[in-house]
């Protein structure tokens, strides 16, 4: 194939040469007029441009703590809410019944406490009455003992008179019978007193493991306490039952409070998950709230750019929703994880001021400044014939002719782009190259 093509090409050239002998020489190509920009070094701050979105710093899911039916809702998605503001109310008939039962139990327990306390007070009064009764009985005992002694002396006197025939046998027998009756009454009285003293004796104190106080007043006080221990315990039991009933009532009240869903923060309502009339199980999420105030802008950077980023670095954020405005931000978190698919690392920067109008999810354009000013060549983006990623091509004018130049590009800045490699200061670059302009073409640089 090669041997056939070479002779054919030579024959065609020969024919062309013969025919050209009779033609006039062609006119020289005219230079193409072009505008150029001269590459110059400018002070620029290193930056990284990216796209991201606005995100919350803090959010809160408001869930139902107890089961119920959504009876009322007082906010809509996007509404601003204050901390503690009522968002919605649930109803639960079982909880209301439980609360009523607990309230009735408290009333009953309060009555039981009052009754036990009255019994305790009555018990103390009864013991005090026993002390008084024993004191009276002791007096009567002393009187009976004196009477027995008197009757014994009287019997002795009459016995002496009887021996000298001073009285009749019948009179002596009557005196003996009077003494026996008095002695019987004294014995009966002593038994009664012994019975009345049960629980009030020294041995009763000792049987309880207590020492008998030497002071009569302290002894009586101790006996009073020992004889009312059961009644006092009943008061304590009644009070414990009242406390339990009150706790049950407080628990029921707290559960009823949980039916009222309130905002845990100042912010906006992001999402509503339950409609009025729907049944809500305990733990069901009803609202998602986003805290207002400071927000994050979240954006990706390439893993090779991460080494340039430090916490606290400043950034400017543009939101398409607010044209002509920018929001300041500072880098807060740089993710330690690289996405294996995209090679990106996520960065979070805190928006510093004027965020009340922003909403999570808004699209954001981020410019992150990563260092101090350095000198870079800047070209208008219109001077690039083509660009892809960090590579591009421009047309350089040298000696009146066009030459293509491959460039390594940096960040784009307000219609201009950094040239990191491929261009030297002072070189002329066509500012708006025509797609028909070919390499090596003559050009006329216009002033």
The domain spans of the chain are: 29-42+374-447, 46-91+259-371, 95-244
pLDDT for the residue 26: 46
CATH code: domain 95-244 is 1.10.287
| 165 alpha carbon, distance to own chain's centre | 114
User: Residue 32 has which token pair?
Assistant: 């193409």
How many whole angstroms separate alpha carbon 66 and alpha carbon 279? Answer: 11
Residues whose CB falls within 8 Å of the CB of residue 52, separated by 6 or more in sequence, listed in order: 297, 298, 299, 300, 364, 366
Q: Which two tokens stand for residue 273?
A: 């998950």
- For β-strands 443-445 and 32-34, DSSP reports them as parallel
pLDDT tens track for 345-387: 999 999 986 667 888 889 999 999 988 888 999 999 999 999 9
Residue ranges in 258-328 assigned as alpha helix (H): none
Helices (H), 166-307: 169-196, 202-207, 216-226, 229-257
What is the per-residue pLDDT for 28?
55
Q: Which of 49, 418, 81, 46 is nearest to 272 (CA)?
A: 81
Local structure of residue 324 (DSSP, 8 states) = T
Residue ranges in the chain whose pLDDT is less than 50: 1-27
Residue that is written with structure tokens 């073409």 in the block: 441
Q: CA quadruple 261, 264, 266, 267: dihedral positive or negative?
A: negative
Lookup: tokens for 209 = 């493991």
Q: What is the structure's pLDDT at 311?
A: 93
Residue 327 and residue 316: Cα distance in Å, rounded? 6
323, 324, 346, 411 from 320: Cα distances, Å: 6, 9, 21, 20
In this structure, CATH architecture of domain 46-91+259-371: Beta Barrel (2.40)
What is the crossing angle of helices 216-226 and 229-257, to 10°?
50
What does the pLDDT read at residue 3? Answer: 37
Burial class (CB in 10 A: 0-12, 13-18, 19+), 34: buried
The confidence score (pLDDT) of residue 1 equals 36
213 φ, ψ (degrees, to nearest 5): -65, 140
Q: Is 32 exposed, middle or buried (0-12, 13-18, 19+ CB in 10 A)?
A: middle
Could you tell me the pTM of the whole model?
0.54
Helix (H/G/I), strand (E/B), else coil: 326:
strand
Count of Cβ atoms closer than 10 Å to residue 242 Cβ: 21
CATH topology of domain 29-42+374-447: 2.40.420
Q: Residue 48: CB partners within 8 Å, gap ≥ 6?
A: 301, 305, 308, 309, 367, 368, 370, 411
pLDDT value of residue 8: 36
């Amino acid at each position: 194939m090669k041997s056939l093509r070479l002779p054919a090409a030579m024959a065609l050239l020969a024919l062309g040469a013969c025919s050209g002998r009779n033609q006039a020489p062609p006119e020289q190509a005219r230079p193409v007029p072009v505008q150029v920009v001269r590459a110059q070094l400018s002070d620029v701050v290193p930056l990284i441009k990216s796209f991201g979105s606005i995100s919350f710093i803090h959010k809160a899911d408001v869930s139902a703590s107890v089961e119920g039916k959504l009876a009322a809702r007082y906010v809509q998605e996007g509404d601003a809410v204050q901390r503690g503001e009522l968002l919605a109310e649930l109803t639960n008939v079982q909880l209301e019944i439980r609360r009523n039962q607990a309230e009735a139990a408290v009333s009953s327990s309060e009555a039981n406490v009052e009754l036990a306390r009255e019994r305790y007070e009555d018990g103390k009064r009864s013991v005090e009455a026993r002390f008084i009764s024993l004191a009276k009985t002791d007096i009567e005992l002393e009187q009976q003992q004196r009477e027995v002694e008197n009757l014994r002396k009287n019997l002795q006197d009459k016995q002496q008179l009887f021996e000298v025939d001073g009285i009749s046998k019948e009179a002596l027998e009557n005196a003996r019978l009077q003494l026996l009756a008095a002695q019987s009454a004294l014995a009966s009285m002593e038994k009664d007193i012994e019975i009345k003293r049960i629980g009030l004796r020294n041995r009763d104190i000792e049987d309880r493991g207590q020492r008998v106080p030497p002071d009569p007043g302290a002894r009586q006080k101790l006996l009073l306490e020992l004889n009312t221990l059961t009644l006092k315990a009943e008061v304590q039991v009644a009070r414990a039952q009242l406390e339990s009933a009150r706790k049950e009532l407080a628990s029921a009240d707290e559960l009823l409070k949980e039916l009222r869903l309130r905002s845990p923060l100042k912010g906006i309502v992001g999402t509503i998950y339950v409609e009025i009339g729907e049944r809500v199980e305990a733990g069901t999420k009803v609202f998602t709230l986003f805290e207002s105030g400071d927000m994050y802008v979240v954006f990706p950077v390439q893993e090779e750019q991460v080494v340039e980023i430090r916490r606290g670095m400043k950034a400017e954020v543009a939101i398409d929703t607010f044209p002509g405005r920018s929001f300041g931000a500072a880098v807060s978190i740089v993710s330690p994880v690289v996405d294996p698919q995209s090679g990106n690392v996520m960065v979070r920067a805190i928006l510093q001021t004027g965020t009340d109008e922003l909403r999570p999810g808004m699209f954001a354009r981020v410019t992150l400044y990563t260092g101090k000013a350095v000198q870079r060549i800047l070209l208008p983006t219109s001077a690039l014939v083509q660009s892809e990623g960090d590579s591009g091509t421009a047309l350089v004018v040298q000696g009146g002719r066009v030459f293509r130049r491959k460039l390594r590009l940096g960040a784009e800045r307000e219609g201009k782009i950094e040239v990191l490699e491929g261009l030297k200061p002072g070189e002329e670059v066509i500012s708006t190259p025509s797609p028909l302009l070919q390499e090596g073409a003559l050009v006329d640089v216009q002033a």
